[in-house]
Structure 1
Amino acid sequence: MRIAIMGAGGVGGYFGAFLGEAGNDVTFIARGAHLEAMRRDGLRLKGARGDIHLSPTQATDDPATVGPVDIVLFAVKLFATETAAAAIRPLVGPRTAVISLMNGVDGPERMAAILGEAAVLPGAAYVSALITHPGEITYTSDMSSIVFGEYAGGASARGEAFAEICCAAGFDAKVSADARADLWNKFVLLATNSALTAGIRKPAGEIYSDPDLQALARAMMEEVVAVGRAKGIALDPEIVEKSVAMTQSFPPGMYASMYHDLNQGKPMELDSLSGYVRREGLRLGVPTPHHATVWGLLKPYRDGA
């Protein structure tokens, strides 16, 4: 199976390294110093589950040199969705599955507008990883799974085939009949944790051990749930309790990727996280005061320094 990784950052690089180490034909689409380091020295993955040095690494900044593949793992920043989706057209043949592993919940719709609904599989990644040096990715927890499914829902033979390859490569993969609900279940905690670690500028261990901040987190999760239900999403009835419990298993020093972008003066995914909750809340008449406040406080920094 030929696999392309569009966006070789923490998420794409992590799963791509495991897939490549297992012997799959994997090509990374990257750019800049990270691309040059991978071409020169290979891709290094470091963390508690073991290190991988994928060398040589197939890497390029031009998808046209790769041609159609079986699977594209699409793991770019949300603000780059349209540009990246247009760029991968040479990778997409009649049977190619483009699995979105982006943050947020509106990415698959935006991808489908460019690539067509038949090509796009909404998905969610559960991993905490980031580029620590060009050509090197460090992961900071034992989370290691993806869930995805067809855009229209239902069964997916191509999805099941890829899930088997993922499991053989060393991480869990599940095909869902309702991937949108899975995206929203993840989004409840994702949007909240991104807002809090970036807004407070403290790691998970300090935030979720403070009773007042725990209460704030719960209130923010409930805002996301209210918006999702107003949109007709079949969220897990216990998702707030499960998300609160999950905060207690986070590594104490963990920050959401939006914090790292803020800290490094890079553009942030703010408009697709708290900004999206705020925007849809206004449209649907659902109050979202906490997410709206964080969005307003971070708005001056959303495009980077």
Structure 2
Amino acid sequence: MRIAVIGAGGVGGYFGARLAAAGDDVTFVARGRHLAAIREKGLTVRSPLGELRVPAEAVVPAVSDLKEPDLVVVAVKLWDTEDVARQVAPLAEGGAAVVSFQNGVQKDTVLRRHLPAGAVLGGVSYVSAFIEEPGVVVHHGTMQRLVFGEYGREASPRARRFLDSCLAAGIDAEISGDIERVIWEKFVFLVGLSGTTSAVRQPIGVVRADPGSRTLLREVMHEAVAVGRAMGVALDPGFADERLAFCDTLPATMTSSMHNDLVHGNRLELGWLSGAVAELGAGLGVATPRNRTIADILSPYALGDPAAAGGAGVTAAGAASR
């Protein structure tokens, strides 16, 4: 397949490199210092499953540089979705399928505002991978899974073709017949993991071991389930307890990308995680006090380290989380 990966960070860099290593024609869109480093030395992915290297010529600086891909993988931070959707529109109008492996439950709604009807597949990724330094992505652990599918339709030829590419690349992948539910199931877990590890400033092992923060973790996820069910998503009422049990199986040192961004003073996806639960809940009349509190606690950091900005970003950050 001709695959364009927009965003060469943890998700896009890891899965794109694995697909490229298996023989797919993969082009990455990157920017800033990451782009400069890849152009100089290529992209390196360090993983317990084996190191991968992508040549420098596989990266371009703009979506407009892409040449008729069969599939566009969106793997940018959520605040860039609107801008990327506008840029990708000509490719989708030319027949390219688009699948987002971003976090959150609002990503595909944003994409569909700009892309042709039917161009968007739903997707979720399960991987712990981050940019360690410009040009280098590090994969933690061995989990590396993709689930994707058509909205409201049976598995399509394009979904099956992408599945074949993933399996040939050694990626744990499957097509889902109810991708909206799958996206929400990941969202419930991610809201819990990101919100609690960031608010507590500790990995999941610390969060789940303390009675108070363990209760917080469960209730944050339970609120997300309640919001999803109110929106008509077929989530089991006890799904939060199931995810809490799943959290007990995770490596104690596991954290979230939002916690990683918080530690490094980067912008947070807060407004699309706990902030989104609070916002959606308010519109539906569903109480979400735990997620609202997390959104408020982390609000000063939503646009990055407030100390680095001299405190100037606090007001804007608060607005972003609401």
Q: TM-score range by the shorter chain?
A: over 0.9
In structure 2, the residue corresponding to 1:216 is in which secondary structure? Answer: helix
Count of matched residue pairs = 305
**Equivalents in 1 of 2:201, 2:30: separation in Å?**
29
Structure 2: where are the runs of 5+ without partners?
Answer: 306-322
What do the CA deviations read for 1:29-88 (whole angstroms, capped 9, x no partner)?
000111111122111111222211223450011222222200111111111110111122
Q: Which residue of 1 aligns with 2:230?
A: 230
- The residue aligned with 1:143 is 143
SS at match of 2:234: coil
Once residues 153 and 265 of structure 1 are traced to their aligned partners in structure 2, the CA distance between those partners, rounded to angstroms, is: 41
Alignment of 1:121-160 (within 5 A): 121-160=121-160
Letter of the structure 2 residue corresponding to residue 134 of structure 1 = P
Deviates more, 1:164-173 or 1:206-215: 206-215
Q: Which amino acid is the alignment partner of residue 233 of structure 1?
A: V
Kept in 1: contact 2:92–2:116 (CA 8 A): no
The separation in 2 between residues aligned to 1:145 and 1:108, in whole angstroms, is 19
Question: Which amino acid is the alignment partner of residue 114 of structure 1?
Answer: H
Q: How does 1:290-305 map to 2 (within 5 A)?
A: 290-305=290-305
| TM-score calculated relative to the size of structure 1 | 0.95
Partner of 1:264: 264
Q: 2: CA distance between counterparts of 1:158 and 1:236?
A: 30
Which residue of the partner structure matches residue 204 of structure 1? 204
Distance 1:238 1:20 in 2: 40
Instruction: Note if contact 1:227-1:280 (Cα within 8 Å) is conserved in structure 2.
Output: yes
TM-fit CA distance, 1:131: 0.2
C-alpha deviation, 1:160, in angstroms: 1.1
Residue by residue over 1:188-244, the C-alpha shift from the partner in whole angstroms, topping out at 9 and shown as x without a partner, is: 110111101111111112112223322221111111100000000012455323311
Q: Tell me if 1:112 matches 2:112.
A: yes
User: Does the aligned pair in 1 maintain the 2:93–2:116 contact within 8 Å?
Assistant: no
Contact 2:13 2:137 in 1 (8 A): yes
1:108–1:122 Cα contact (<8 Å) kept: yes
The alpha-carbon deviation at position 97 of structure 1 amounts to 1.2
Please give the alpha-carbon distance, in whole angstroms, between the structure 2 residues aligned to 1:141 and 1:57. 29
Aligned position for 1:72: 72
* Secondary structure of 2:124's aligned partner: strand
Question: What SS does the corresponding residue of 2:166 show, helix, strand or coil?
Answer: helix
Distance 1:176 1:117 in 2: 19
Which deviates further from its counterpart, 206-215 or 167-176? 206-215
Contact 2:93 2:115 in 1 (8 A): no
Q: Distance in 1 between matches of 2:92 and 2:247?
A: 37
Take 2:274 and 2:65, find their aligned partners in 1: how far apart are those partners?
37
Match of 2:167 in 1: 167
CA distance in 1 between partners of 2:43 and 2:54 (Å): 5
Give per-residue Cα distances to partners, 1:160-198, cap 9 Å, x unaligned. Answer: 111111011011121112211000010111011110111
4+ residue runs of structure 1 moved beyond 6 angstroms?
A: none
Separation (CA, whole Å) in 2 of partners of 1:59 and 1:152: 34
SS in 2 for 1:98: strand
Secondary structure class of the residue paired with 1:138: strand
Distance 1:245 1:46 in 2: 30
1:14 corresponds to: 14
Question: Residue by residue, what CA displacement relative to the aligned partner does 1:95-148 show, whole Å, maximum 9, x if unpaired?
Answer: 311111010000001011011231111110000100001111111122111111
TM-superposed deviation, 1:16: 0.3
Q: How well do the aligned residues superpose, as a CA RMSD in angstroms?
A: 1.5
Counterpart of 1:100 in structure 2 is 100
1:210 alignment partner AA: D
Contact 2:28 2:58 in 1 (8 A): yes
**Closer, same or farther: CA 236–125 of 1 in aligned 2, 3 Å:** farther
Query: What is the rounded CA distance, in whole Å, between the counterparts of 1:136 and 1:236 in structure 2?
Result: 39
* Identical counterparts, % of pairs: 43
* Contact map agreement 1:63 1:90 (CA 8 A) in 2: no
Contact 2:196 2:216 in 1 (8 A): no
